[in-house]
Amino acid sequence: MSATPGTHMKHEIDQQPAIFADLLAAQEQFAEVAAVIAERRPRFALLAARGSSDHAALYAKYLIEVLLQLPVGLTSPSTTTLYGARPDLTDVLLLTVSQSGGSPDLVAVTESGRASGALTVAVTNTTDSPLASAAELSLNIRAGAEQAVAATKTYSATLLALYLLIDAIRGGGAALARTLPDLAATTLADAADPVEEAVQRYRFAGRMVTTGRGYSLATAHETALKLAETSYLSARSYSGADLLHGPVAAIDAETAVLALCSAGLGGESTREVVEAVHQRGADICAIGSAASKTPAAHRIPVPESAEEIAPILEILPAQQLALGLALARGIDPDNPRGLQKVTKTT
């Protein structure tokens, strides 16, 4: 680990615009895998992942259901590893997402799925991993080695890789993503001051709630995870709809709420949720391209983009906030207590 707290995490956050540019230049791998999937014409998609990769898989769930009009489910790996379930997966697309490719249960799910008839695709940052070997096809997210314990560049690169794959399956040419490297650089630069103000505002917060709807729900979940693992905050994430069905009762003036509010249907719906939360006195920080239209005590703007790629930009200031809060609270996010880079679950 670096002697200077947060050095690795900051460096990897700053690398993301270049990583996006590299992924966009690697269209061939997405086109090749997409062609196989399109030829097989799956009737259903399943997604398997853990941790941050599970949030990326949730993003892919929205993409597949909306852009490909396919039903999608999230697997429960323990049904395979603990209970020995072997459902018939004929004509099913099984996408397994893992930056390390080393989780035994995800490898087991992929091997079982392939043996049960699924078309298996691994999305990983480690091309020689057991997961990549277990799957019929694999995609490299090309993020490079990640030194920080908290995933930053591997998470956003996974989001972009999943978008590029799904866009290629529907015959798209990644047109909506072409400007992502420049938009990401602008986001990181423009968010620096608002993020620092948010750090000073929330450095003593005891609990936070993150919320979003649609594509941005993945960002809400990932942001809560980053805050918990780097700053040891009690952070929970909810979809806007779920937040209003019970958990809102626990929100008061002592609660900080981070709301993902980007242009599009999901952001519009989230603003309605924020208005309800605002009435309960919560301290609200709005993050996104529609933050200026949201009732909030603090705002972190993000450049506007197509709604389906907004989560790739939204997560950048959230990562900066997690880093800043950890440092302000005297915590080294490169060496969080009790955490390792690769978690091997069974």
Residue pLDDT, tens place only, 276-313:
888 888 889 999 999 999 889 999 999 999 999 999 99
Same fold, 7-177 and 180-328: yes
Q: Which of 10, 61, 226, 341 is catalytic?
A: 341
Assigned architecture for domain 7-177:
3-Layer(aba) Sandwich (3.40)
**pLDDT score for 308:** 97
Give residue limits of the domains in the chain: 7-177, 180-328
pLDDT value, residue 178: 97
What pLDDT is stored for residue 346 in this prediction?
Answer: 41
Instruction: Reply yes or no on whether the pLDDT at 248 is more than 60.
Output: yes
β strands within the chain, DSSP E: 44-49, 72-74, 92-97, 119-124, 137-140, 207-212, 234-239, 256-260, 283-288, 298-301
- DSSP letters for 4-15: STTHHHHHHHHT
State how far the Cα of 225 lies from the Cα of 340, in Å rounded to an integer: 15
Residue 74 above 80 pLDDT? Answer: yes
Contact status, residue 223 vs residue 318, Cβ threshold 8 Å: yes
Mean pLDDT computed over every residue of the chain: 93
User: Is 180-328 CATH 3.60.15.10?
Assistant: no
* pLDDT attached to residue 345: 47
Q: Report pTM.
A: 0.95
Range in 53-62, 174-183, 251-260, 281-290 the model is least confident about: 251-260
Q: How confident is the model at residue 207 (pLDDT cuts 50, 70, 90)?
A: confident
Does 3 or 219 have the greater pLDDT score? 219
> Is-catalytic flag, 344?
no
Longest CA–CA separation in the chain, Å: 54
> DSSP E strands: which ranges in 68-135?
72-74, 92-97, 119-124
pLDDT of res. 340: 57
